[in-house]
Chain A
Amino acid sequence: MTTLSPPPGTSRPDREAGPSHSGPPLPRRRRILPDRLRRAGLPYLLLLPALVLEILIHLGPMAVGVTMSFKELTQQYIRDWSAAPWTGTDNFRIAVDVNAPVGEALLHSFFVTCAFTVLAVSLAWLLGVTAAILMQESFRGRGVLRALFLTPYALPVYTAVITWSFLLQRDGGMVNHVIHDQLGLTDSEPFWLIGDNSFAALVVVAVWRTWPFAFLILMAALQNIPKELYEAAHVDGAGMRQQIRRITLPSLRPVNQVLVLVLFLWTFNDFNVPYILFGKSAPEAADLISIHIYQASFVTWDFGSGSAMSVLLLLFLLLVTGGYLLVTGAGRKRDV
């Protein structure tokens, strides 16, 4: 690797220069640039569009976001935010000061998000792995069931959650109709979208939406387990349960490591489900961190403080992901 790619325009004059002799001769091809240069420059050229976009829309704004977290960026500076005064670490100090209202609310939201994530991810995984194992063998109607199970995941998130908010209404909702009118489990109709029950509602909706993804991935992974393993185990007298414990689950290990991480990141960062289910102000029991930051930024128009919270969130996710990859060794499996 010696040189970077020259910009495309500079290669034009070389075209007239005729075949170059620096590269190893290839039959039937006209040399535009020395082969070595072409080989070195091409990958960068191919990467260029992706790189430009990632830098402009992903990494750039992230840098801006980190910068913003050190500024006092309230409504009055929104038109020209470079004029906003630097505030050092004030935004961070306010965000982590758990004795003040802002920090206390953020900490509460963090705990709610942790509880929500642990519950939702484990339930989604459990349902996914159960269904995948049960549907490993072919049976009548399997294709239909599989399509049905995948549908909640395929639905656009807003239509799915809007439907759930219809089901979870206090007065005309299906859920209350079943548990109150039909089964008589409760004395009065509970609220699901406000108050403490909103946490349960959030978990159910999130699981309903994400377990099909676990199911899809695990089903694909199960197909890669060689049949011979099960046959050998059967010959050795292993029962169904032992086969699952000794063959299926260990074979799924690498997939599970990635799957759980992906589910964790999605669920922890989930904005859509609470936003559509509860609107702009989530009930305290279901105040997920994304929606909390959104509210802190767009409702109060304090972007500096919102950015500081986002940066803290990112640091936490980096820490957890890094730790997870170290512990499980999932990062070493694949040469990226």
Chain B
Amino acid sequence: MSEATATATADGTADGGTGGTAGDGTAGGTSRKPGGHLAGRASGAGGRKGPGRVSPTAPPRSFIWTRRVVLTLLTIFAATPLLVMVSSSLKPLQDVSDRFRWIPSSLTISPYVDIWSTVPLADYFLNSLIVAGAATGCSVVIATFAAYAVSRYRFRGKRLFTVTILSTQMFPGILFLLPLFLIFVNLGNATGVALYGSRGALIVTYLTFTLPFSIWMLIGYFDSIPRDLDEAALTDGCGPLGALVRVVVPAAVPGIVAVAVYSFMTAWGEVLFASVMTNETTRTLAIGLQGYATQTQVYWNQVMAASLVASVPIVAGFLLLQRYLVTGLTAGAVK
């Protein structure tokens, strides 16, 4: 029952149009009455109720079997590492340091307790949170302004701006890494401000790297919001910024959430720049965990527990907000 409810919510929120078509009728290959009113309407002359007929587009039996087999294989591929991750984090140390075993000899939560003292995981976590949070906040605000300008105004250099912004997306990170590293080091030497190794440098870097895609996605989203809305606000006496804040932003919430999710995930998961631009005190989860997993004696159960601690917030957030990401992407990037 709970599974069915979960499906219904996920479908209802994320799938829009397709949700009601087949309903539960196709589950397990058996056929019943049309599920939703949509399907009822779609089947036109609803009176044709022959055996094995749900709607005209109901999938044939062979399709359902293909679907079962392929999706089962995909599930095994996708889920096995996740399963091992979770189970290993609950195993005692001897279970993970010798031969692999599916069934733990006993269950323990001590890895989840020990991780906080074996490595300064709380510090890593806090650093990641500060860096990713600050970068996301700034990125969303700056991208909103820029995308609004591109979407609503005609100005010289607009095309140059969008093309440049987009093309930075293809540049390999390694190309920026060396110069940025040197720039931060030399700026630090020249001004006495320790940029290299600071959280600020990392925030600015992540912020800039998430901007192009965020702007691009938001342009697409803003374009899909009728201009009449902000023109009405303008004639009502709002300034252009007032129109942006009071009318366009509220209408673009899904796009903005999508951008925030994207920025946060990028910043939270970034490795390359963090590996070069952090020191002992500013180390993020990305680098901290990696050091954890490459010690001479690796406590795999603790590493898996720490990985889960680093993953759960982001995965939960992503799964909760993915419908926004889908709407944002369909309106913006995928057009």
**Residues in A whose Cβ lies below 8 Å from that of B226:** none
Q: Which one, A50, A62, A176, contacts B211 given CB within 8 A? A: A50
A11-19, A91-99, A102-110, A165-173: which one contacts chain B? A165-173
A151–B78 touching, CB < 8 Å = yes
Q: Is the CB of B172 within 8 A of A314?
A: yes
**B204 and A230 within 8 A (CB):** no
A231 CB, nearest partner CB in chain B, Å: 6
B319 and A159 contact, CB distance less than 8 A? no
Assess whether B18 is in contact with A65, with CB atoms less than 8 Å apart.
no
Q: Binary interface profile of A, 133-148, with partner B (CB < 8 Å = 1, else 0)?
A: 0111111111111111
A164 to B84 Cα, complex, angstroms = 10
Neighbouring A residues of B28 by C-beta, 8 Å: 140
* Complex CA distance for A121 and B8, rounded to whole angstroms: 32
A219 vs B17: C-alpha distance when bound (angstroms):
12
* A42, B145: Cβ atoms closer than 8 Å: no
Contact A227 B21 (CB under 8 A): yes
Q: Which of B61-81 contact A (CB under 8 A)?
A: 62-63, 66-67, 70-71, 74-75, 77-81
Q: Which residues of A in the span 182-217 have a Cβ within 8 Å of any Cβ on B? A: 208, 212, 216-217
| Docked pose: A58 CA to B163 CA in angstroms | 14
Asked whether B42 is an interface residue with its Cβ less than 8 Å from the other chain, the reply is yes
Complex Cα distance A58/B167, Å? 11
In the complex, chain B residues whose CB is within 8 Å of the CB of A146: 10, 14
A1 CB contact (under 8 Å) in B155, B235, B240: B155
| Smallest CB gap from B176: residue in A | A61
A150 adjacent to B322 (CB under 8 Å): yes
A162 engages B175 (CB within 8 Å): no
List the A side residues contacting B275 at CB < 8 Å.
275
Q: Name the contact of B98 in the complex, choosing from A44, A158, A172 (C-beta under 8 A).
A: A172
- Interface residue from B6, B100, B330 paired with A144 (Cβ < 8 Å): B6
CB of A303 within 8 A of chain B?
yes
Contacts A29-B237, A68-B178, A158-B271; A137 near B26 (Cβ below 8 A): yes
Enumerate chain B residues within 8 angstroms of A240, measured Cβ to Cβ: 59-60, 62-63
B272 near A173 (CB under 8 angstroms)? no
Please choose the segment from B103-111, B114-122, B249-257, B284-292 that sits at the chain A interface, where 4 or more of its residues have CB less than 8 A away: B284-292
Give the number of residue pairs across the A-B interface with Cβ within 8 Å: 356
Confirm or deny: B228 has a beta carbon within 8 angstroms of a beta carbon on chain A. no
**Once the chains bind, are A137 and B174 in contact (CB under 8 Å)?**
no
- What is the interface residue range for chain B against chain A? 35 or more
Is A100 engaged at the interface, CB distance under 8 Å to the other chain?
no
The reply on A269 being an interface residue by CB < 8 A is yes
Q: Are B168 and A59 in contact (CB under 8 A)?
A: yes
Chain A residues 107 to 132 lying within 8 A of chain B, measured CB to CB, are 127, 130-131
Tell me the bound Cα distance from A160 to B14 in angstroms.
Answer: 25
- In the complex, which of the residues A162, A172, A298 has the most CB atoms of chain B within 10 Å of its own CB atom? A162
User: Shortest Cβ distance from B13 into chain A, in angstroms?
Assistant: 9
Complex Cα gap A247–B327 (Å): 22
Report which of B35, B56, B208 forms a contact with A57, defined as CB distance below 8 A.
Answer: B208
Is the CB–CB distance between B164 and A65 below 8 Å?
no
Q: How far is the CB of B302 from chain A (nearest CB, A)?
A: 12
A contact residues around B24 at 8 Å (CB): 138-140
**How many angstroms from the CA of A303 to the CA of B265 in the assembled complex?**
30
- Complex Cα distance, B6 from A58, in Å, reads 43
Q: Roughly how many angstroms separate A336 CA and B166 CA in the complex, as a whole number?
A: 9
> Is the CB of A272 closer than 8 A to any CB of chain B?
yes
Q: Which residues between 282 and 315 of chain A lie within 8 Å of chain B, taking CB atoms?
A: 289-290, 293-294, 297-298, 303, 306-307, 310-311, 313-314
> Is the pair A167, B81 in contact by a Cβ cutoff of 8 Å?
yes
| Chain A neighbourhood of B179, CB < 8 A | 60-62, 64-65, 68, 307
Contact present for A272 and B172 (CB under 8 Å): no
Give A contacts to B, CB under 8 Å: 1, 26-29, 39-40, 42-44, 46-47, 49-51, 53-54, 56-62, 64-65, 68, 78-81, 127, 130-131, 134-160, 162-167, 171-174, 176-177, 181, 208, 212, 216-217, 219-224, 227, 230-231, 234-235, 239-240, 254-255, 258-259, 265, 269, 271-272, 275-276, 279, 289-290, 293-294, 297-298, 303, 306-307, 310-311, 313-314, 317-318, 321, 333-334, 336
Instruction: Please name 17 further chain A to chain B contacts, defined as beta carbons within 8 Å, in addition to the given A46-B145, A162-B289, A208-B81, sorted by A numbering.
Output: A27-B235, A43-B155, A44-B149, A54-B168, A64-B179, A135-B67, A148-B78, A152-B82, A159-B85, A159-B311, A163-B84, A166-B303, A166-B304, A167-B80, A220-B334, A223-B330, A240-B62
